Structure 1
Amino acid sequence: MPQLSADPAAFPAEPPADTHDPAVIAAHDWAAFSALDEMTDHWARPGWSDGSRAYYWMLTFSNAQQLAALARRCQEELAPLGLDPVPADGLHTTLARVGAPGVVTPGQLDSLAKDVEALLPSAFSVRAMPLAGSRGAVRLSLGPWEPLLLLHHALVKAGSDVGLAPKKPTSAFRPHLSLAYNNRRRSAAPVVAAVSSLRALPAVELSVSVVQLVELRREGRTYRWDVRKSVSLR
């Protein structure tokens, strides 16, 4: 199992004490989010302007109706804050960046997808909820992390083998599922308070049986993608 380590660029910077227990993970996420003084503009990311594109590994989920209903409930309650909600068909968990179109060749994508197939772990499920956040988003905690870390590690290894190692190692991976993006600098306190009132909503179990290699693009203040490869877990 890959070991997590502290990383100031990750959120939370410190990993949770137990990556097996969803309750411990959720409490750790909440402690980090509720301690924020200020939130930043998610869209003010260097090199990621409107229209930018890149290849990523990501997860979407087969029981999307339950997830979409949970997201909609949270987004409706948070609407007065003016966040940018993630559309129901845009809910995803980002795993690893592969590279930019024009730099990564179609042949490399083919080799990557083929090599990944032999390394992927078995299909699994994770629990989404309760709600927390980061410096630039409101997001659902996911747990347990163990199968997600194994999946990320397999993607990193396959990428390294074809010369496409992700910039972020598994040690800095912090699984989550964003529901709304913050679009300006602001005090975190009102957002933390609004999120706190939604933390008792029932969790949703998410099945993970396929990982997708997508060409992700930014369209204004949302993300869209085209699937280039879908690879089934064992």
Structure 2
Amino acid sequence: MPSAPEWTYNHATNLRDHWWWRPGWQVGTRFYTWHITFNGQDKLHQLVDTYQAELARHPGLDLIPHQWLHLTMQGVGHTADITTDEINILLAAAQTRLAALDPVTVAFHRPVIRPEAIVLPALPPAEIDRIRDAVRAAIADTLGPGSVPDEAHGFQPHVTLAYSSSSQSADVIKSAIESIASEPVEVSIPTVSLIELHRDNRMYEWHTIAEVPIGSEASSTHPDR
């Protein structure tokens, strides 16, 4: 079995503020993206609660409520740049490609400190890569091969427990989370969500456009527009 990538266990030594504005982003920006969301995933929520109970004791961390837990997967583009017709074509292309996948299950266990967040890596990452490759192909089908944002390689699938809102050493937080006993949880991923995302309130919040099923039993999208 291949060893886990270094990013899944090698803690950052310092934290910095996550909430700086990326190029092209400001209050009011809306962005289409593919996320995996976790409504109803009680075992994952319990694991999150275990670590967030400790993280809540440390200043400078913004904890993520259950409703906004997500695995960031693949951006599509700013809403002003993509038409409703293109979104509908994208959903149809994604439905076809995701239906061809085998079922996907990943495990979450120990957090790792990244420079701007404390996260739970999804293991093995290759399982999420299969989903991401499918939605990237669907974007290429719809908008053209040169219109797929981000690089195909170097993806680090994770669920964020807390974002850093200040600059500080990670030493105390590292000791705290490493002192907690927990068991790994397995999570089946039945759908992928196309969402309209914003971060106006120092939190990633969204409206779900559609949920697209994964696997051979997938027969339709579930739009919520």
Query: How far apart in 2 are the matches of 1:203 and 1:52?
Result: 36
Equivalent position of 1:215 in the other structure:
196
**Residue 170 of structure 2 corresponds to residue 182 of structure 1:** no
Match of 2:182, SS state, is coil
Indicate which of 125, 143, 151 corresponds to 1:169: 151
Deviation per residue, 1:43-81 (Å, 9 max, x gap) = 113244444321110112365222112112211111122
Query: How far apart in 2 are the matches of 1:219 and 1:197?
Result: 34
How many Å apart are 1:193 and its aligned residue? 1.9
Indicate which of 173, 176, 185 corresponds to 1:194: 176
**Greater displacement, 90-99 / 200-209:** 200-209
Indicate which of 186, 210, 213 corresponds to 1:205: 186
Match of 2:110, SS state, is strand
**Residue 9 of structure 2 corresponds to residue 30 of structure 1:** yes
What aligned pairs does 1:41-120 form with structure 2 within 5 A after superposition? Answer: 41-47=17-23, 48-61=25-38, 63-82=40-59, 83-120=61-98
Equivalent position of 1:131 in the other structure:
111
Query: How far apart in 2 are the matches of 1:227 and 1:141?
Result: 24
> Given the superposition, is the C-alpha separation of residues 226 and 62 from structure 1 closer, same or farther in structure 2, using an over 3 Å criterion?
closer
Equivalent position of 2:223 in the other structure:
none
Q: Could you tell me whether the CA contact under 8 Å between 1:209 and 1:232 is conserved in 2?
A: yes
Query: How far apart in 2 are the matches of 1:190 and 1:166?
Result: 39
Query: How far apart in 2 are the matches of 1:181 and 1:222?
Result: 9
Q: When the two structures are aligned, how many residues end up with a matched partner? A: 209
Equivalent position of 1:141 in the other structure:
121
Q: Could you tell me whether the CA contact under 8 Å between 1:26 and 1:130 is conserved in 2?
A: no
**Root-mean-square deviation (Å):** 1.9
> Given the superposition, is the C-alpha separation of residues 28 and 215 from structure 1 closer, same or farther in structure 2, using an over 3 Å criterion?
closer
Query: How far apart in 1 are the matches of 2:182 and 2:138?
Result: 38
Query: How far apart in 2 are the matches of 1:117 and 1:146?
Result: 20
Query: How far apart in 2 are the matches of 1:202 and 1:173?
Result: 25
Q: Could you tell me whether the CA contact under 8 Å between 1:149 and 1:170 is conserved in 2?
A: no
Deviation per residue, 1:80-120 (Å, 9 max, x gap) = 22210000111110110111111111111111111112212
**Kindly, what percent of the aligned residue pairs are identical?**
27
Equivalent position of 1:231 in the other structure:
212
Query: How far apart in 1 are the matches of 2:137 and 2:14?
Result: 36
- Matched residue type, 1:139: V
Q: TM-score, normalised by structure 1?
A: 0.82
- Matched residue type, 2:135: L
Q: TM-score, normalised by structure 2?
A: 0.85
- Matched residue type, 2:189: V
> Given the superposition, is the C-alpha separation of residues 219 and 64 from structure 1 closer, same or farther in structure 2, using an over 3 Å criterion?
farther
Q: Could you tell me whether the CA contact under 8 Å between 2:77 and 2:149 is conserved in 1?
A: no
Match of 1:75, SS state, is helix
- Structure 1 portions without partners, runs of 5+: 1-19
